[in-house]
């Protein structure tokens, strides 16, 4: 490309000693020709460009016209490319932001209302040794039937799944899939509880956007078969 420009620079020299009136048309003609060949050279360079690094690939993606690669698909590509480099600790809810329950507590209308107001739906349950022994899912409880205090231990789920804070997001996804769960407690190498991660957050990171769908009749074959898709 530099050699191409240099040759045209030399070509323009022949006009520099001529009066402007004599060379104006010739200059304009050569300027147009130069621009056409320069544009063609750039197009040819881009058509035959092969990225030699991840950085060059990202730059090529950014240069791609939006009518070919939408912002949504750009985000999808960037999310997928960084998936195996990010760590589980980056997407977890830290321990200090978690509302814990004790296995000796009773869950009644007042306590249930307090849990709803936190905005969370999953609450780890601690035993006397301050270890997680189960979880309470408020989105799976029927508040109509909880008219009086019931032992937390009778309402909680006992199956718990752990992942380490230094797992990659790909390894974390494997934990979710292996255990058929949407909730994982994050610990360190000393078994200290650091927080928790949810499958929905992981999927949002993968697609670089939140996945939303208001349809709720997945258990009805009739509703699914008759559903109108946009």
For residue 223, is it within any domain? Answer: no
pLDDT recorded at residue 15: 47
Angle at alpha carbon of residue 131, lines to 125 and 134, rounded to 5°? 35
Query: Residues 194, 157: one domain?
Result: yes
pLDDT recorded at residue 44: 57
Domain boundary among 81, 114, 148: 81
Low-confidence residues in the chain, pLDDT < 70? 1-23, 38-49, 75, 78-83
pLDDT recorded at residue 55: 72
pLDDT recorded at residue 43: 58
Helix, strand, coil shares of the chain as percentages rounded to 5?
50, 15, 35
Query: Residues 142, 109: one domain?
Result: yes
CATH number of the domain where residue 192 is located:
3.10.580.10
What are the structure tokens assigned to 69, written together? Answer: 């690669």
Q: What residues make up the domain containing 133?
A: 88-207
Tell me the backbone φ, ψ of residue 140, rounded to 5 degrees: -110, 5
pLDDT recorded at residue 5: 45
Query: Residues 59, 117: one domain?
Result: no
Residue tagged 């191409």 (tokens): 4
For residue 214, is it within any domain? Answer: no
Alpha-helix residue ranges (DSSP H) falling in 125-198? 152-155, 169-179
> pTM of the entire structure?
0.64
For residue 226, is it within any domain? Answer: no
């Amino acid at each position: 490309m530099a050699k191409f420009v240099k040759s045209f620079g030399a070509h323009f020299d022949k006009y520099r000693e001529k009066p402007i009136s004599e060379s104006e048309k010739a200059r304009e003609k050569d300027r147009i020709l130069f621009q056409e060949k320069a544009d063609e050279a750039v197009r040819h360079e881009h058509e035959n460009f092969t990225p030699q690094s991840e950085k060059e690939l990202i730059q090529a993606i950014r240069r791609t016209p939006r009518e070919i690669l939408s912002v949504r698909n750009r985000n999808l590509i960037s999310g997928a490319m960084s998936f195996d480099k990010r760590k589980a600790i980056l997407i977890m809810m830290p321990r200090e932001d978690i509302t814990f329950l004790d296995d000796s507590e009773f869950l009644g209308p007042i306590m249930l209302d307090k849990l709803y107001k936190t905005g969370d739906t999953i609450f780890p349950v601690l035993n006397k040794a301050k270890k997680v022994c189960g979880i309470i899912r408020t989105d799976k409880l029927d508040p109509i039937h909880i008219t009086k205090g019931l032992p937390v231990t009778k309402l909680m789920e006992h199956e718990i799944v752990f992942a380490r804070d230094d797992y990659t997001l790909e390894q974390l996804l494997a934990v979710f899939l292996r255990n058929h769960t949407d909730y994982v407690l994050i610990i360190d190498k000393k078994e200290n509880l650091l927080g928790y991660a949810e499958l929905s957050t992981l999927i949002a990171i993968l697609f670089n956007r939140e996945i939303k769908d208001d349809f709720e009749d997945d258990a009805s074959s009739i509703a699914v078969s008759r559903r109108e898709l946009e």
